[in-house]
Amino acid sequence: MSTLTADTPVQSLDEILAAADRAATVLAEGPVGSRVAGLRAIADVLDGNVDRLVSIAAGETNLPTARLTGEVARTTGQLRLFAAALEDGSWSDVIIDTADPEATPVPRPDLRRMPVPLGPVLVFAASNFPFAFSVAGGDTAAALAAGCPVVVKAHPGHPETSRATAELVRSALADASLPEGTFALIEGVDAGVTALKDSRIRAGGFTGSLSGGRALYDIARSRPEPIPFFAEMGSLNPVFVTAQAMQARGEEIVAGFTGSFTLGVGQFCTKPGLLFLPAGHGLEVQLIEATQNVAGGRMLNERIHDAHTDTRASLAARPVVRTLVAGDSGGPALLATDVPSLLADADEVLTECFGPTSIVVEYRDLTEAVEAARALPGSLTATIHAEDDETGLDGLLRELRARAGRLLWGGWPTGVAVAAAMHHGGPYPATMDPAHTSVGLTAIRRFQRPVCYQNYPDTLLPDVLKNHNPQRILRRVNGELTTADLR
Amino acid sequence: MSTLTADTPVQSLDEILAAADRAATVLAEGPVGSRVAGLRAIADVLDGNVDRLVSIAAGETNLPTARLTGEVARTTGQLRLFAAALEDGSWSDVIIDTADPEATPVPRPDLRRMPVPLGPVLVFAASNFPFAFSVAGGDTAAALAAGCPVVVKAHPGHPETSRATAELVRSALADASLPEGTFALIEGVDAGVTALKDSRIRAGGFTGSLSGGRALYDIARSRPEPIPFFAEMGSLNPVFVTAQAMQARGEEIVAGFTGSFTLGVGQFCTKPGLLFLPAGHGLEVQLIEATQNVAGGRMLNERIHDAHTDTRASLAARPVVRTLVAGDSGGPALLATDVPSLLADADEVLTECFGPTSIVVEYRDLTEAVEAARALPGSLTATIHAEDDETGLDGLLRELRARAGRLLWGGWPTGVAVAAAMHHGGPYPATMDPAHTSVGLTAIRRFQRPVCYQNYPDTLLPDVLKNHNPQRILRRVNGELTTADLR
């Protein structure tokens, strides 16, 4: 496995940022059609090179070929989803209020509002998704769709994959006639931090650890001119199982849980890190056996492996925590505690352990389950396994909603569908901004800001704001959603 | 004028925050209809007490009665606008993707997404709008509409107005059966900062100075659990006049400009602080005369008066700045410079001077105007006066759009219409988040976050996400906007 990284020198970084800055103006003024073409061109070229890309990534990340192949499909599907949404005029968020000289207390001018791109976006790629959250991943796709040039800071865990992908992206964008500077790859921590502090970078995106995300966020926000910085930093993803559900399908739940927390060697930000079970559930032996039966897997790289071993050891060493499966010999680990113990040591136990480790927490009754839910930090997801006709869960559901971005009824949080309705976000520390998602169509909203034109002559307005609306963009005109022309 | 403030004691602050926290749960679960009723009840009670409120405010702020009366109407109109939008099901931002077992690379679950309130919002009231940006102003209305309890930190410039308004708001919300804790007023810097650091406060809103906004933002964002903090901090609001426009209607522009920058004694965040005129425009004498003819007015309070005098003196003392009208005897001040001088001393000259002071900047040609535009910091507004058939302005318009939230063709930036299409925001330092507005319907978006329900039973979904849609909420279902039931 190559861990060599060629840090981007300051001179070429400056050229990259200057080119991104120039491209920003062209993209902001250019037709949406060119973005659509660019997104599709990237998707096509990645699909066309899937075998080569997967082979490079497999060598760098220890991830299996089937998983990586699926991930490329997810990545290109995502790019095409954004392209389709740009073509579909119903997502415009254009709002028009025509002049109203009779408005009180003051007459209203003609106001026409639309989203415009923020400018060059710096994307910090993730380790655990060398395609879907990396060079041509969700942040890049969303930023390009928003009309922003993208500078990706490669993750050092898969440098060759990053370079190969970047080369394909660059050529695809050139073929689609997007301006030079629309996309660039940089490498090295220094280059990333220098770029983040540069005034030409107008927003940032990040997927990774809490410590990394928070540190970069603090840099972005303490610039002389602060910029939005969207960080998705993983979470505990609690799962609550009721006594009725446990009784009805305990073994299925045991199997689903062990499958989910060990999937991809536990290297997902939606890995269920806490499983709340009713005390006396009687399936501890099955949980242990199911966990022991999961074959170990190599983690993404040495650094992540060591961090997992350390965090697991710290958790297991807490006096309130029992070890059910140690995971010493490379397999997954299962720990256990109960709600009073968890609450007594919440600061230490409620820590994300990135990797194949999870904690079973026993609760005595629903009141105790609610108490535990109240102590949980913000999460990307919260899951409840219960029977559909069960009552008395309102309090628990309410506490979970207050703390999570996605609420699952049954099922498991790993596997994040790329769809318009997806919300992959949540209150801190899951993300730095609970209003935004890093997966799904609305991820575009992170990289745009509104501009309102007041009393502009029709000829000088951007096309989507003009009276004539030949593209049939859906617009909110004087309160009514319409695709019609004005007047 | 009373400047007495009774700081909120720590004990009652804790009770206020506890009550807001309890109310947050009730509001988040409660029907939207109760928010509608609450907003309308506040509007009604303020309108019913307009004379008394205006009389108190006039005594505290030096603002004239007519202006204050209009401001109450603006405030109640704003509350009713939010109420109407809540009733209109077309603003829901509900996105539903039903299950698709055939989706690739992985089957798609049933996903239903809606915005939910963030929780208790702390609003820091402004000095210059004792009604519209204060206790029952835009931030309060938007947060209540979003379903968040509100704690307002009163501005010390108008304590009696704040208390009288708060008492009316509290009684109106109680009459409308909203939960206790939905609204509270606190006073004093310490109480404000203590509340901002409290984990029960989930977001903040602010209107005021750059230094104040940035300091509070830094507190909000360095909490153990950081929260969104939306600050609108005023700006320079540049106005560019072309040679053709100056020739066609120079005197009208002079009159409009002096009217706008001295309106309300220059105490608006949209006051035009920079007027770019073509060199040799020949109307300097008229500008001086028009400025001298504006009667002086008392500023909001002593502190603001002193700050204006100091900033004006600093600007006038810059070697690159000429004084056209000194404003020593209480009237407005007009300063002058040219683009090369401005660029040579940009850090000092490009400073907002809150009050009746503005700077005329002469440019030699459009290239120089564009160069000046490039040096400008982010602004709430940017205005251009040109002839409708003029060409060659693309570069200037592009630079202005890159730096402002609202772009005006003719007219003057003071006077911010409360409408769906309004955007009262802009890149830093105008605000801390360029994606949001503090005026107009979309101001609600600041105080909500999405939640996505995955595979929930219909009975447990919030009403707006259920299959049956009797309220005919507009929803995006599998890509199509529809008010129909599902299935």
| B337: nearest Cα among B314, B316, B355, B368 | B316
Q: For the CA atoms of B271, B277, B283, B288, what is the dihedral angle to 10 degrees? A: 40
The chain A residue lying nearest B424, using CA atoms, is: A452
Query: What are the chain A neighbours of B73 within 8 Å (beta carbons)?
Result: 104-105
Region B260-274: mean pLDDT is: 97
Query: What are the chain B neighbours of A73 within 8 Å (beta carbons)?
Result: 104-105
Angle of helix B10-29 versus helix A394-401 axis, rounded to 10: 110
The chain B residue lying nearest A409, using CA atoms, is: B456
| Cα of B449 to nearest chain A Cα, Å | 4
Q: pLDDT by residue (tens digit) across B187-228?
A: 999 999 999 999 999 999 999 999 999 999 999 999 999 999
What letters, b where the CB count within 10 A reaches 16 and e where it falls short, cover A110-123? bbbbbbbbbbbbbb
The chain A residue lying nearest B431, using CA atoms, is: A226
**CATH 3.40.309.10 in chain B, residue ranges:** 238-409
Asked if B406 lies within 8 A of A479 by C-beta distance, the reply is no
Whole-angstrom distance, CA of residue B21 vs CA of residue B379? 35
The pLDDT, as a whole number, for residue A3 is 34
The pLDDT, as a whole number, for residue B2 is 32
CA atoms within 13 A on the CB side of A470: 2
φ and ψ at residue A324, rounded to 5 degrees: -90, -45
The pLDDT, as a whole number, for residue A6 is 66
Asked if B77 lies within 8 A of A104 by C-beta distance, the reply is yes
- When pLDDT is cut at 50, 70 and 90, the band that residue B8 belongs to is confident
Query: What are the chain B neighbours of A77 within 8 Å (beta carbons)?
Result: 104-105
φ and ψ at residue A147, rounded to 5 degrees: 95, 20
Query: What are the chain B neighbours of A452 within 8 Å (beta carbons)?
Result: 405-407, 421-423
Collect the ranges in chain A with pLDDT lower than 70. Answer: 1-6
| B242: nearest Cα among B336, B349, B373 | B373
Region B120-130: mean pLDDT is: 97
| Cα of A225 to nearest chain B Cα, Å | 6
Region B328-349: mean pLDDT is: 96
| Tokens describing residue A402 | 């207050």
Query: What are the chain A neighbours of B434 within 8 Å (beta carbons)?
Result: 118, 228, 449
Asked if B421 lies within 8 A of A113 by C-beta distance, the reply is yes
Query: What are the chain A neighbours of B417 within 8 Å (beta carbons)?
Result: 97, 103, 106, 108-109, 111
The pLDDT, as a whole number, for residue B143 is 98
The chain A residue lying nearest B25, using CA atoms, is: A398
Asked if B452 lies within 8 A of A476 by C-beta distance, the reply is no
Asked if B455 lies within 8 A of A402 by C-beta distance, the reply is no
The pLDDT, as a whole number, for residue B330 is 84
- Among residues B60, B71, B187, B232, which one is catalytic? B232
The pLDDT, as a whole number, for residue B277 is 98
| Cα of B193 to nearest chain A Cα, Å | 20
| Cα of A246 to nearest chain B Cα, Å | 18
The pLDDT, as a whole number, for residue B6 is 66
Would you give the distance in Å from CA B180 to the centre of its chain?
A: 27
Query: What are the chain B neighbours of A90 within 8 Å (beta carbons)?
Result: 476, 481
The pLDDT, as a whole number, for residue B1 is 30
The pLDDT, as a whole number, for residue B103 is 86
Does the complex come out with an ipTM higher than 0.90?
yes
For residue B452, what are the β-bridge partners?
A406, B113
Query: What are the chain A neighbours of B116 within 8 Å (beta carbons)?
Result: 401
| A18: nearest Cα among A185, A198, A270, A143 | A198
Asked if A25 lies within 8 A of B481 by C-beta distance, the reply is no
Query: What are the chain B neighbours of A444 within 8 Å (beta carbons)?
Result: none
Whole-angstrom distance, CA of residue A237 vs CA of residue B259? 58
CB A145 within 8 A of CB A39: yes
> Is A232 annotated as catalytic?
yes
| Tokens describing residue B4 | 């007495």
- Which CATH number is A10-233+433-449's, of 3.40.605.10, 3.30.2230.10, 1.10.10.10, 3.40.309.10? 3.40.605.10
Q: Which overall architecture, per CATH, does domain A238-409 show?
A: 3-Layer(aba) Sandwich (3.40)
The pLDDT, as a whole number, for residue A170 is 97
Of A419, A423, A442, nearest to B451 by CB-CB distance is A423
Contacts of B302 (CB under 8 A, 6+ apart): none
Asked if A450 lies within 8 A of B118 by C-beta distance, the reply is no
Region B141-147: mean pLDDT is: 98
Asked if B452 lies within 8 A of A104 by C-beta distance, the reply is no
Would you give the distance in Å from CA A15 to the centre of its chain?
A: 29
Whole-angstrom distance, CA of residue A128 vs CA of residue A300? 7
**pLDDT at position B345 over 70:** yes
Asked if B452 lies within 8 A of A406 by C-beta distance, the reply is yes
- Picking from A87, A100, A110, A449 by the largest number of B CB atoms within 10 A of its own CB, the best residue to mutate is A449
- Among residues A269, A353, A368, A399, which one is catalytic? A269
> Is A269 annotated as catalytic?
yes
The chain A residue lying nearest B103, using CA atoms, is: A417
Asked if A70 lies within 8 A of B452 by C-beta distance, the reply is no
Q: Quick check: bond before B429 cis, omega within 30?
A: yes
The pLDDT, as a whole number, for residue A357 is 98
| Tokens describing residue A281 | 């559930």
**CATH 3.40.605.10 in chain A, residue ranges:** 10-233+433-449
Q: Which helix (H) or strand (E) holds B247?
A: helix B243-262
| Cα of B4 to nearest chain A Cα, Å | 32
Asked if A421 lies within 8 A of B97 by C-beta distance, the reply is yes
The pTM of the full predicted model, rounded to 2 decimals, is 0.96
| Cα of B452 to nearest chain A Cα, Å | 5
Asked if A105 lies within 8 A of B73 by C-beta distance, the reply is yes
| Cα of A348 to nearest chain B Cα, Å | 15
- Average pLDDT of every residue of chain B: 96
Q: Quick check: bond before B462 cis, omega within 30?
A: no
The pLDDT, as a whole number, for residue B84 is 97
Of A95, A408, A409, nearest to B420 by CB-CB distance is A95
Angle A275-A277-A279 from CA coordinates, rounded to 5°: 145
